[in-house]
Amino acid sequence: MKVYIEPIGRLINEFSKLPGVGAKTAQRFAYKIINMKPEEAEAFANAIINAKSKVKYCSVCGNFSEDDICDICKNRSTESICVVKEPKDVIAIEKLNEFNGVYHVLHGTISPLYGVGPNDINIKELLSRIAKGGVKEVIMATNPDVEGEATAMYITNLIKPLGIKVTRLAHGIPIGTELEYADEVSLARAFVERKTL
């Protein structure tokens, strides 16, 4: 039985494609759109088209960019390169206001299980950036999971022989948690990597 009229059904279907959005939530989103003013709905639709057409990837680091080269690559020293899996990781780190170097976005991690090898992610682009000289430190900021660790290790083995300092984000128990509730792997890691005070 046809419950929704076509334009609503179609919109619900589109919203269902978003991550974590089920039928009920998609329906709520669709109602919200229908209750918007026409110019609001138009602004929404335009933002989608606009983002899709204007957002490119920086030809140097692979981060999101409106231009051929992103603002970070344009304005910052290339002494430190922070290697991340995805553009959203750049944003997570930028929010900290801690790091003043540039990034390199791999657009994936090595994952034999899913058939992703070293040549499928932007590793050789990283190597050619380093080959240009001036890089003093490469910070491996891939996710602390199996693929992230393996990728960090793989890249480290390629770069270290070049005499460049390679670092990895520290692992351990997250700030603010109670020891009792920390996951065992992180706790074990925190023990192994304990530091002298």
- For its own copies, the binding residues (CB under 8 A) are 1, 3-8, 10-11, 13-14, 17-20, 24-25, 27-34, 36, 38, 40-55, 64-66, 70-71, 87-88, 91, 94-95, 97, 181
What is the closest distance, in whole angstroms, from the C-beta atom of residue 174 to its own copies in the complex? 17
> What is d(CA 172, CA 34) in angstroms, rounded to the nearest whole number?
47
59 vs 157 by CB, closer to its own copies: 59
- Which of 177, 165, 169, 120 lies closest to 145 in space, CA to CA? 169
Residue 79: left (phi > 0), alpha (psi -120 to 50), or beta? alpha
What is the closest distance, in whole angstroms, from the C-beta atom of residue 176 to its own copies in the complex? 18
15 vs 154 by CB, closer to its own copies: 15
What is the closest distance, in whole angstroms, from the C-beta atom of residue 157 to its own copies in the complex? 30
> What is d(CA 10, CA 167) in angstroms, rounded to the nearest whole number?
49
2 vs 194 by CB, closer to its own copies: 2
What is the closest distance, in whole angstroms, from the C-beta atom of residue 153 to its own copies in the complex? 27
Task: Check: CB of residue 85 under 8 Å from CB of residue 109.
Answer: yes
10 vs 165 by CB, closer to its own copies: 10
What is the closest distance, in whole angstroms, from the C-beta atom of residue 148 to its own copies in the complex? 18
SS3 content of the chain, % helix, strand, coil (to 5): 50, 10, 40
119 vs 181 by CB, closer to its own copies: 181
> What is d(CA 192, CA 186) in angstroms, rounded to the nearest whole number?
10
What is the DSSP secondary structure assignment for residue 101, as one 8-state letter? S
